[in-house]
Amino acid sequence: MEGPEVVNSPPPGHHESQITLRYWAGARHAAGVPSDVVSTPAPLSLQALVAHAVALHPDAPRLPQVLGVCSALVDDRPVGTADPGGVLVSPGSTVEFLPPFAGG
At residue 22, what are phi and psi to the nearest 5 degrees?
A: -115, 135
pTM of the predicted model as reported, rounded to 2 decimal places: 0.81
Give residue 104's identity as a one-letter amino acid code: G
Element (H, E) at 27: helix 26-31
Q: 73-83 as b/e, with b when 16 or more CB fall inside 10 Å?
A: bbeeeebeeee
pLDDT tens digit string along 42-95?
999 999 999 999 999 999 999 999 999 999 999 999 999 899 999 999 999 999
Can you give the pLDDT at residue 16? Answer: 67
pLDDT category at 12 given cuts 50, 70, 90 is very low
Nearest to 98 by CA among 72, 68, 77: 72
CA distance 34 to 98: 12
For the segment 12-32, the average pLDDT, to the nearest whole number, is 84
